[in-house]
């Protein structure tokens, strides 16, 4: 969909270390290099984020922030984008074709020019999962904050203190999927040494 600024949604945005492939859960100062459109096999619409953490030489990628189902139903991530637009004073996102560098060369993507090169703070959560029997990781964007004040858009509009960034900084931890939790329990049981029998002592 073409993003047009909606203040109601923006106000409802709510509530690793640089250089790693996946960032640890936390709040980072970043530059948005390229925000590009992606379509899932289900038809859902999403955004891929190329962002550079302050002090890092190379950008990190956050893939698949899904904001709209195939039937057009908006997901909560759309509100996160709205909040970002509010912070940056952007009234509409217009797509354009852009060539970006990737590991094996270049790639053409549909990006949003209004977001290129913008500096913000972002809360990122690491998600631990199991895929084909192996531990997998990914990052999810939870919220954006003003680069200078650390406030969300709703906090800026209401004139309140920057409370949400403090909450994320103090409380944001890695998310474990149900598959990962089961795998972790099973692994712990398998690694636990068998207790010695007592029959020989009787």
pLDDT in tens, 81-124: 999 999 999 999 999 999 998 778 899 999 999 999 999 999 99
Q: What is the pLDDT of residue 52?
A: 94
Residue 12 has pLDDT above 80, yes or no: no
CA distance 127 to 138: 5
State mean pLDDT over 166-192: 87
State mean pLDDT over 179-189: 83
Angle ∠(87,46,137) on CA atoms, nearest 5: 95
Nearest alpha carbon to residue 157 among 53, 46, 7, 6: 7
Check residue 75 and report its DSSP letter. P
CA distance 54 to 45: 29
Residue 9 has pLDDT above 80, yes or no: no
High-pLDDT (> 90) share of the chain, %: 69
What is the pTM assigned to this prediction? Answer: 0.82
CA distance 47 to 96: 14
- The pLDDT tens digits for 24-60 are 999 999 999 999 999 999 999 999 999 999 988 889 9
Residue 14 has pLDDT above 90, yes or no: no
């Amino acid at each position: 969909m073409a993003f047009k600024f909606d203040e109601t949604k923006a106000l409802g945005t709510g509530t690793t270390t640089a250089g790693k492939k996946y960032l640890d859960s936390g709040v980072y100062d970043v530059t948005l290099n390229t925000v590009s459109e992606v379509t899932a096999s289900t038809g859902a619409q999403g955004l891929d984020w190329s962002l550079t953490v302050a002090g890092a030489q190379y950008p990190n990628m956050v893939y698949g922030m899904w904001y709209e189902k195939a039937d057009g139903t908006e997901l909560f991530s759309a509100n996160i984008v709205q909040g970002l637009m509010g912070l940056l004073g952007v009234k509409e996102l217009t797509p354009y074709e852009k060539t970006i560098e990737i590991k094996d060369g270049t790639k053409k993507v549909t990006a949003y020019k209004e977001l290129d090169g913008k500096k913000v703070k972002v809360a990122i959560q690491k998600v631990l999962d199991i895929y084909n029997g192996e531990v997998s990781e990914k990052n999810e964007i939870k919220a954006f904050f003003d680069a200078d004040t650390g406030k969300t858009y709703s906090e800026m509009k209401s004139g309140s203190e920057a409370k949400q960034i403090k909450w994320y900084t103090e409380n944001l931890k890695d998310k474990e999927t149900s598959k990962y939790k089961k795998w972790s329990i099973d692994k712990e049981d398998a690694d636990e040494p068998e207790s010695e029998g007592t029959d020989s002592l009787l």
